[in-house]
Chains A and B, each alone.
Chain A
Amino acid sequence: MSATPTADTHDHSHDQAHDHGHDDHHGPMKGWRRWAYATNHKDIGSMYLIFSLVMFLTGGLMAMFIRAELLIPGVQFLDPAKFNSMTTMHALIMVFGAVMPAFTGLANWMIPMQVGAPDMALPRMNNLSFWLLPFAFTLLLLTLLVPGGSPAGGWTLYPPLVLQTGDAFPMAVFAVHLMGASSIMGAINVIVTIMNMRAPGMTLLKMPLFTWTWLITAYLLIAVMPVLAGAVTMLLTDHYFGTTFFNAAGGGDPVMFQHIFWFFGHPEVYIMILPAFGVVSEIIPTFSRKPLFGYDAMVYATASIAFLSFIVWAHHMFTTGMPLIGEMFFMMSTMLIAIPTGVKVFNWTATMWKGSISFEPPMLFALSFLFLFTIGGFSGLMLAIVPVDFQYHDTYFVVAHFHYVLVPGAIFSIMAAVYYWLPKWSGHMYNMTLAKIHFWLSAIFVNVLFFPQHFLGLAGMPRRIPDYNTQFADWNFVSSIGGFGFGLTQLLFVYIVWTTVRGGVKASAKVWDDAAPHGLEWTLPSPAPYHSFEEAPEVK
């Protein structure tokens, strides 16, 4: 614990105010201490992003196993239990390890810079939020090695199936608790940073859309992550302490787990997509060289989507035998979400209308988000229709739907954000040609991978099976080829990011000079200094 020469060396006998002043000026520690004891929002943001990339590649490797198994009919190398383990782990790692930490990393980097703050409001809690994650995911990945294998009941962890998990069960439950604690602390930090650390003049309705969407996301996280924690705690006590929350034999009800899980799970979907909306709302105006069309409407639409996300959860459970009135309610409330989402898609399109558009890599990813996320939205509307869902439920149509929302939706927006802000973070411009190749290969392969899954689902192919009828062989083959292509393409992304961080052409402060991007982050030099704004900027 000895301090390095560059660490805080001031006289601790000073008063608190004086100490605080000195804290603002020290540089990074050296070696491993810089990362282990990190309290700087940029260092923690970088760690979140690197962690998320490692998890993305780990979850992606599992996806490759899944697509290899499904390449041709017949069981190849994954028996049904191992196949289901792979799908469960793939989902848990991608949702909690890749997408959510990536957005938290972006929040850590960008929110203090966008609101004109020197750092996040609670830097030590920020350190704890991050460092819980490697332990959580080590624990989760170790479940692959224990007797009985890792959980195989799907990321939804439905009882009674999940209660059949072997020794891995308490490990998975504890891992989920750790992820939840990390997310809640991260969310608290985002809220108090935005609410308490904004520069003078930065009123709420002057904040950049990325910050706005994250503020709303953070409230969602605080509301629903404890619900997931409660659900898995009850699973744990059912398994080990003789309770019967979800066991009909003891007066409980397994369907109640589904209600509780999806009360968390549906807002969780929006936790993964609202920050993506924020990213796209930053990028489209820049590369259209126009202000965002309908800024206020965008904020209100985001808040409306967040509100509606709490009253639609049972659309995941139409086939559980709910009363008709319940099915009607959840069908209608789900369809209502199309209204604020439509407002957003309209506003992004209207922003581009008569704009001077250029197609740099961030814009390419943002535009592809706009088209492909909308496809996921439309298939979601189809699934919202109760009698139609009876047919599609638990088929590959659902798999196609949520992958369209999450891959060319959430993940493309993360890549758009990295290509947009990486020169600001690293001080170097990346190789545009390689980044465009990365985009085109990703955009083509993601459609080859997921579009045929709509056809498979409509033809009746069920989810979570390692073997299938030969009638599904052709489209599964095509989908797997798309999967391998998409997976390999992402190695190019790793190469581009790595080489850009290591060196390259110097980026200017505004990075995208001819597009004149708006926002306080572009007033800082590239790379951004260790402490963003030591003197709060005045926002007019």
Chain B
Amino acid sequence: MRMASEIDRQKRAKRNALILALVALGFYAAFITLGMSRVHG
């Protein structure tokens, strides 16, 4: 039983890590978009 829950924890950790990585990418994209929106050529 404990092994199964270990694997569950690992899976959950990987899924959460992916979500956090996407959030980080989102911030990156958002700030470049903000930069683009502020240029008035």
Q: Which residues of B contact A245 (CB under 8 A)?
A: 35-36, 38-39
Main secondary structure of the interface of B (DSSP, over half): helix
Q: Is the CB of B21 within 8 A of A250?
A: no
Q: Which residues of A contact B26 (CB under 8 A)?
A: 226
Task: Specify the chain B residue showing the minimal Cβ separation from A189.
Answer: B17
A222 at the interface (CB under 8 A from B): yes
Q: Is the CB of A234 within 8 A of B21?
A: no
Tell me the number of A-to-B contacts counted with CB atoms below 8 Å: 95
User: How distant is the Cα of A243 from the Cα of B12 in the complex, in angstroms?
Assistant: 41
Q: Is the CB of B4 within 8 A of A17?
A: yes
A196 at the interface (CB under 8 A from B): yes
A326 at the interface (CB under 8 A from B): no
Interface residues on B, range: 20 to 34
Q: Which residues of A contact B20 (CB under 8 A)?
A: 187-188, 191-192, 222
Q: Is the CB of B32 within 8 A of A233?
A: yes
Task: Specify the chain B residue showing the minimal Cβ separation from A193.
Answer: B13
Beyond A17-B4, A230-B32, is A125–B40 a contact (Cβ under 8 Å)? no
User: How distant is the Cα of A84 from the Cα of B16 in the complex, in angstroms?
Assistant: 42
A347 at the interface (CB under 8 A from B): no
Q: Is the CB of B31 within 8 A of A230?
A: yes
Complex interface bits, A385-415 against B, C-beta within 8 A gives 1, otherwise 0 = 0000000000000000000000000000000
Q: Is the CB of A196 within 8 A of B28?
A: no
The winner among B20, B25, B30 for most chain A CB atoms within 10 A is B20
A70 at the interface (CB under 8 A from B): no
Q: Which of A55-63, A252-260, A293-301, A376-384 contacts B (4 or more CB under 8 A)?
A: A252-260
CB distance from A61 to the nearest CB of B (A): 33
A337 at the interface (CB under 8 A from B): no
User: How distant is the Cα of A250 from the Cα of B41 in the complex, in angstroms?
Assistant: 5
A68 at the interface (CB under 8 A from B): no
User: How distant is the Cα of A243 from the Cα of B20 in the complex, in angstroms?
Assistant: 30
Q: Which residues of A contact B16 (CB under 8 A)?
A: 191-192, 195-196
A343 at the interface (CB under 8 A from B): no
CB distance from A179 to the nearest CB of B (A): 14
Q: Is the CB of B17 within 8 A of A252?
A: no
Chain A count of residues within 8 A CB distance of the other chain: 39
A227 at the interface (CB under 8 A from B): yes
Q: Is the CB of A226 within 8 A of B38?
A: no
- A 10-42 contacts with B by CB, 8 A: 16-18, 20-21
Q: Is the CB of B9 within 8 A of A197?
A: yes
A95 at the interface (CB under 8 A from B): no
Checking B7, B9, B36, B41 against A17 with a beta-carbon cut-off of 8 angstroms, the contacting residue is B7
User: How distant is the Cα of A20 from the Cα of B11 in the complex, in angstroms?
Assistant: 13
Checking A193, A222, A250 against B24 with a beta-carbon cut-off of 8 angstroms, the contacting residue is A222
Q: Is the CB of B31 within 8 A of A226?
A: yes
A251 at the interface (CB under 8 A from B): yes
User: How distant is the Cα of A234 from the Cα of B36 in the complex, in angstroms?
Assistant: 9
User: How distant is the Cα of A243 from the Cα of B10 in the complex, in angstroms?
Assistant: 43
A122 at the interface (CB under 8 A from B): yes
A225 at the interface (CB under 8 A from B): yes
* Complex A-B, nearest 3 residue pairs according to Cβ-Cβ distance, in ascending order: A230-B31, A251-B41, A226-B28
- Starting from the known contacts A192-B13, A234-B32, 5 additional A-B residue pairs (CB-CB under 8 Å) come to A122-B14, A195-B16, A226-B25, A245-B36, A251-B39
Could you pull out 29 A-B pairs where Cβ atoms are within 8 angstroms?
A17-B4, A18-B3, A121-B13, A184-B21, A184-B24, A188-B17, A188-B20, A188-B21, A188-B24, A192-B13, A193-B13, A196-B9, A196-B10, A197-B9, A197-B13, A224-B27, A225-B24, A226-B25, A226-B31, A227-B27, A227-B31, A230-B29, A230-B32, A244-B39, A244-B41, A250-B41, A253-B38, A256-B38, A260-B35
